[in-house]
Amino acid sequence: MTDEPEGGAPGDALWGGRFAVPVHPAILEFTNSLPFDRRLVRHDLLASLAHARMLRETSILPRADSDLILSGLSEVLGEVEAGGLEVEGPDEDVHTWIERTLVERVGEAGKRLHTARSRNDQTAIALRLYVRERLEDVLYGVAGLQRVLTGQAASLRETFLPGYTHLQRGQPVSLAHHLLAHVASLAADAERLRAAHRLAGVSPLGSGALAGTSFPIDPARSAALLGLDRTFSNSMHIVGDRDYVLDAAYACALLGVHLSRWADEVVLWSTREFGFIELDDSVSQGSSIMPQKKNPEAAEILRGKSARAIGNVTSLLALMKGLPLTFNSDFQEDKERLFDSLDTADWSLAAAIAIARGVNYRTDVMEAALAGGMLTATELADHLVRRGVPFRTAHHQVGEAVSLAEEAGVELWELDLEALRACCPSAGDDVHDVLRPDAAVAAHDSPGGPAPVRVLEQLQAVDREVIELEAWLDGRSDPPIRRAHLEERLLDAEIA
């Protein structure tokens, strides 16, 4: 007899043969990961199909057993995807649930599935497949937001407003150029997300617990069946590698930072103090006490979500920093942080697209803001430089002209030629032609600049990039193993 509370029966677990007494219920509850790793069921089933097919083709498993396993896994996968089978029960994780469900359906043959495989490489492959699929979802959102912003930019190439440094008016730019700055950040995000997708595409199947296996496996075949073109080079490294988790979380965090900067601008520009935009009622909310209020709450929450994504990266880095080779159960803690990062990125992009569509640009207010900041002072300095004045001398002279204009309560382009030449003796007769904001923008036609011709080039380049990204995403398809086993070509069909 024992006075220990009853726990799980050792024989019910995948590892129970070594243990003589039940596991304490508190430990069972503490170590149970099924409530969150059930998300991986589809990806684990796909990986199991690939592993079982490889075992069949290498004759590691008898054909009769492998036929039953493949058919059973296909049946379970179909039901899971159709929503007819819930992942629930007393199992400690999703891997145990799959094996138990399979054995219940096909009998003793199901117990052979784990041949030449460990839960270590099983976990790793399921998580890698999940990461790649979810990154594709995020990339669709990135492309969608780029489409909205570039569509707005295309129609606003001739709208001018101040460009800011230190949140002070600096030089005139076009609204299109300003919006395309945010699109450029999203393009960099897409590049990082695709890099994370590629880096996750290494198959760990065949690495076993840490030392591979003595069976004559074919890891390249397993990888190919899952649509992956790379296999591991070191079994100890691959089962303990979570760099791809960090890569994905970091890419999502930086995306969140970029969305936060854009959202902060939405909040700022919608204030009475700026008044550059007005938000549609559909993306605004009110105050519980002040009836007149129209608050940009969605943009504020979007701004706040970035902190959550940053925290997940920090948590994952701390999780990994002191772990010895190879597999450690600490890895159980990576799932919820990773899932949250991917979920947050997905939700944030959906919200950002809705907010962006609900922005109404007040172009009259923007253009009115071009006055009062001496925004073409740099153009006056450049004009003098072109007439042979050293830049530092020109800078000083223009500063004097700015002071003169401020005292007179006028803009630089409103000073008459005589007044300008009192400060800037080398000013030409055509100096006023370069001082108007629209002329200043048009003159800034260096590559990547705000001149309308350069903005058009940027729009065309972004359009090509988004088309390429969407084509790449649309070209993604289910792994060959899924096609082979869910289209009733279960066992003998050639895999395309």
Q: Which residues does the annotation mark as catalytic?
A: 166, 287
Is 119 within 8 Å of 141 (Cβ atoms)?
no
> Residue 86: what are its φ and ψ, rounded to 5°?
-90, 140
What sign does the CA torsion over 383, 384, 389, 395 have? negative
Is 159 within 8 Å of 174 (Cβ atoms)?
yes
Angle, alpha carbons 288-289-294 (nearest 5°): 65
Helix (H) or strand (E) segment spanning residue 355: helix 334-357
Residue 265 tokens, joined: 């601008």
Please report how the helices 63-82 and 94-106 are oriented relative to each other, as an axis angle in degrees rounded to 10.
120
Distance (Å, whole) CA 173 – CA 408: 25
Residue with tokens 């002329």: 439
- Looking at this protein, which amino acid is placed at residue 239? V
Is 392 within 8 Å of 381 (Cβ atoms)?
no
- Who contacts 289 (Cβ-Cβ below 8 Å, separation ≥6)? none
Is 203 within 8 Å of 127 (Cβ atoms)?
no
Distance (Å, whole) CA 356 – CA 152: 9
